[in-house]
Chains A and B, each alone.
Chain A
Amino acid sequence: MASGWEVTALKLKKLRSFSSLDRFKREILAEHPAGAPTVAVCTDTGCRACNSVNVFEAFREALAKAPEIRAIVKATGCHGFCEKGALVLIHPQEILYTQVQPSDVPEIIEKTLKKGEVVERLLYLDPATGKRIKLESEVPYYKPQLRTILGGNRMIDPSDIRDYVAFDGYQALRRVLEGMKPGSVVDTITRAGLRGRGGGGFPTGVKWKTARRAKGRKRFIICNADEGDPGAFMDRSVCEGNPHSVIEGMIIGAYAVGSHDGYIYVRNEYPLALEALTTALEQARECGLLGENILGSGFSFDVTISRGGGAFVCGESTALMASLEGKPGEPRAKYVHTVERGLFEEPTVLNNVETWANVPKIILGGVDWFTSIGTGDVSADPWGGSKGTKIFSLVGKVRNTGLVEVPMGMTLREIIFDIGGGVPKGKRFKAVQTGGPSGGCLPESLLDLPVDFDRLSAAGSMMGSGGMIVMDEDTCMVDVARYFIDFLKEESCGKCLPCREGLRAMLEILNRVTEGKGRRGDLKLLEEIAGGVAETSLCALGGSAPNPVLTTIRYFRDEYEAHIRDKRCPAGVCKALLRFEVIGENCTGCHVCAKVCPVACISGKAKGTHAIDEARCIKCGACFDACKFEAIRR
């Protein structure tokens, strides 16, 4: 996907010194000054589903025919507000247009680009005030956010390194290579308090320090882009929208640790992220920012991209390394850490996409800036706080779904209600699931918990990689527990006894409970198995598997008991416990239910009371949703 760089004389060339990087940046800014009129169309996978590619193409064609407007259009990465896709941002005014269609493009060009006026109907409508909002920064979704990492997606075209360089790209690398010793880079990252964003929260600086000291013939750097947590897509968006930020972070890390070989392990299910990273790597090589003698510094480093094979367990570091070595993704015990013996038995530093993306920011912004954001105190102890921002994927039963980047320490309530806009359709909030399959479900009473590495763990969940799934009164928590155990059972590598057999045993119990065959003592047995699996499993997949089950039992015990004792599903989800029937007095005979029934099991004459044939009913709930007279009971 091209940008305003299509027609330019400025070609990519190998930069052999720091000053040549500076010169390159000046040349780029001369061609495309920072404040020039730009239309940034989000073409992340999510907005593509909202036809954003055609919006981009419409702009491109129209602007090519109207050079007098002097605006360029860019296909950028995720702007975060996925609920309102396709998103278009107009620079330099910072006007945000939502739910844009290709047919809207001529009007935007006419009114906004030519005359500087807004197209009212495309502006975000704030449901609280009923007013349309013009500036992106004023939109309630964005106001509380601090988009250190995602902010780049507002104006960078990921397919062109020149855009990245224009916005301070590779300046951090320059600073490091020109004026910092490797040990000092490690020190900076340690003092900044950067902790792993993939879920583990291990202090990055400490990891790098150990790797530097470890004995080995060579060292490896790995970027874990195997974002497997269902409901999380932060890493995908960073890889698609700003791949160079990750690459720059990796080069700096490699320099700090003494590595010359890097890998990026991308999930198989992310083809666009793979493409974006591949293109970025090629361009970086062309510019001499990767490969031999980077920027003339004498330091050499290059990166290989590897695709996953469709295994969630390969997000675990040792399984990922096994996969890179060409074996099945079976984890191994970490009694000897991977920083000492990892990939091919050599010292290896593995970090998450978001962690790598934070590195150049810290180098440029400084330790004081980074530690001013977040919670706790890391001056004496790198584990003492959670510094910087975190990107969350706010999804599920929430009005404003999308990616949210906020300082660590913001509360769940602020994220879900102030930014997320609360639960739609007038439903009641029930729970928020954080941390993916390793995390747990937290109820309404805990909404004022600040979100960081440590506070959610105390409540039984964890922040994890940042997935935040909101659930409302129509979600059955027992079904959610069953869902996660089913997921983990499918993804378990099967090597160790407790995870393989224990998850199967837990699923068996949960299946029985959701089918109305729960027995007394099932909860206790479930808790016992969960505890045993957690303590004896080989890796963290089994080790954290009990969390969804234990938190739902802890905070939603009454739902379990309704299923077991009363054979009832209060949320109306578990099919075996549901029965749909027509309430005679309310039925008006409008026949709408019969029309939507997929198996045609509702009979009735026009204007007469209808009836559901229970024997054929598949409990899909379509009639219940369709009836406007509350004549169907569940």
Chain B
Amino acid sequence: MKFVLNGKRREAGPGTTVLEAARAAGVDIPALCAHEALEPYGACRLCIVEVREKGKKRSRVVASCLYPVKEGLEVESDTARIKKLRRFLLELLLARSPRSPYVKELAAKHGVKKARFSSAGDDCILCGLCVRVCAEVVKADAIGFSERGIARKVDSPFGIDHSRCIACGACTFVCPTGAIQMEYARVTELRSRGGEHPCRYTLLGFLPDAVCSLNYECARCEIDQKLRAEAGTHPAIARALAARPAEASRKPRSGAKGPRGARASARSRKAPRKRAGR
């Protein structure tokens, strides 16, 4: 399909979203809740662009992570209107999570220094990456959203039941702000059981039968290090990406965010987090 992106003519295969096409063309569109290994969600709205369909007079503001490329589509990702709306969204985000370094950095990058409304002071930005990775990739369904509206939050059932969590750390891995940490209660519980401690990679299905001898300090675990080094990312995510059919060409790019495991990471937060690809 032929379409126009920021004035230049481009091509894209069927079923491609505007965001995917833009990334392939090297155009940077910020997207908070989008992830290669996950179905597009469209919640953060930061990936908005202006599109004009062939034959239509007016352009619309749409979320590029979900909008499919069509023949003759015109896309503009950096108009004044988009820039203003993006700043508006980032201001709302900053109002929600004023303390998060990630949010502050992202907002500053687009010219937003402070919010004109009160802060909720919640590091969780409700991007849904943790819930979605748990449901789609790990398939444990250990955490989910509860309530709705401004009360919406990420929770395990009844707030206390972690029984489905296998302590794989994928949620912590994908969380941009560090708001979710692998359930310490869960880890503690697993530790406190006498008897077998299955390795979390066994639970994920990578190893047939391994028992954790390090009391769930996965950062010290050789298996963990080896699997991550090989995959370049969290192993569960790497497997999900590899399982995708016609996208074998897409590999997680270098500079991918490292894991933030149960151990407080000494890895500096000064290095800019590359959100594109993982």
The answer to whether A and B touch directly, with their CB atoms under 8 angstroms apart, is yes
Report which A residues bind B (CB closer than 8 A).
Answer: 311, 313, 328, 332-333, 335-336, 489-498, 500-505, 508-509, 525, 528-529, 532, 535-538
A495 engages B150 (CB within 8 Å): no
- State whether the Cβ of B66 lies closer than 8 Å to any Cβ in chain A: yes
**Cβ of B117 and Cβ of A505 under 8 Å apart?**
yes
In the bound complex, residues from chain A placing their C-beta under 8 Å from that of B4 are none
Closest Cβ of chain B to A504, distance in Å, is: 5
Q: What are 15 A-B residue pairs whose CB atoms fall within 8 Å in the complex? A: A333-B63, A335-B62, A494-B145, A494-B148, A494-B150, A496-B45, A500-B149, A500-B150, A509-B117, A529-B88, A529-B117, A532-B85, A532-B92, A535-B61, A536-B48
Given A328-B145, A335-B67, A532-B88, residue A504 in contact with residue B150 (CB < 8 A): yes
Give me 7 other A-B pairs in contact (C-beta within 8 A), A492-B149, A508-B117, A532-B89 excluded. Answer: A335-B66, A494-B147, A494-B151, A500-B149, A505-B117, A536-B45, A538-B45
Q: Quick check: B95 and A494 within 8 Å, CB to CB?
A: no
- Nearest Cβ distance between residue B191 and chain A, in whole angstroms? 34
Report the minimum CB–CB distance from A288 to chain B (whole Å).
Answer: 43
Q: Return chain B residues, CB-CB under 8 Å to A529.
A: 88, 117
Report the Cα distance A330→B150, complex, angstroms. Answer: 14
In the complex the two chains form, is A311's CB within 8 Å of B148's CB?
yes
The CA of A525 and the CA of B92, in the complex, are separated in Å by 13
| A313 contacts across to B, CB distance below 8 A | 148
Complex Cα distance A502/B45, Å? 13
Q: Which residues of A contact B68 (CB under 8 A)?
A: 335-336
Contact B45 A498 (CB under 8 A): yes
Listed residue (A335, A492, A503, A509) with the most chain B CB atoms within 10 angstroms of its CB: A335
* A532 contact set on B, CB distance < 8 A: 85, 88-89, 92
Decide if B43 touches A538 in the complex (CB within 8 Å). Answer: yes
Residues of B within 8 A of A311 (CB): 148
**Interface-central residue, B66, B68, B88, B147, by most chain A CB under 10 Å:** B88
Query: For this complex, into which size category does the number of interface residues on chain B fall?
Result: 20 to 34
Q: Which residues of A contact B147 (CB under 8 A)?
A: 494
CB-CB under 8 A from A503, the residues of chain B are 150
A320-B83 Cα distance, complex, nearest whole Å: 33
Q: How far is the CB of A495 from chain B (nearest CB, A)?
A: 5
The chain A residue with its CB closest to the CB of B63 is A333
Among A336, A495, A525, find the residue whose CB has the most chain B CB atoms closer than 10 A: A495
Residues in A with CB closer than 8 Å to B67 are 333, 335
Tell me the bound Cα distance from A247 to B44 in angstroms: 40
The answer, yes or no, to whether B232 is at the interface (CB within 8 Å) is no
List the A side residues contacting B66 at CB < 8 Å: 333, 335
Q: Does B9 contact A (CB under 8 A)?
A: no
Of B89, B116, B118, which is within 8 A of A498 by CB? B89
Q: Which of B44, B117, B120 is A497 in contact with, Cβ under 8 Å?
A: B44
Determine if A495 and B43 form an interchain contact, defined as CB atoms under 8 angstroms apart. Answer: yes
B96: chain A residues at CB < 8 Å are: 501
Interface residues of B in 43-77 (CB under 8 A from A): 43-46, 48, 61-63, 66-68
Write out the residue numbers on chain A whose beta carbons fall within 8 Å of the beta carbon of B44.
Answer: 496-497
Contact of A492 among B48, B95, B150 (CB under 8 A): B150
**Docked pose: A332 CA to B118 CA in angstroms:** 29
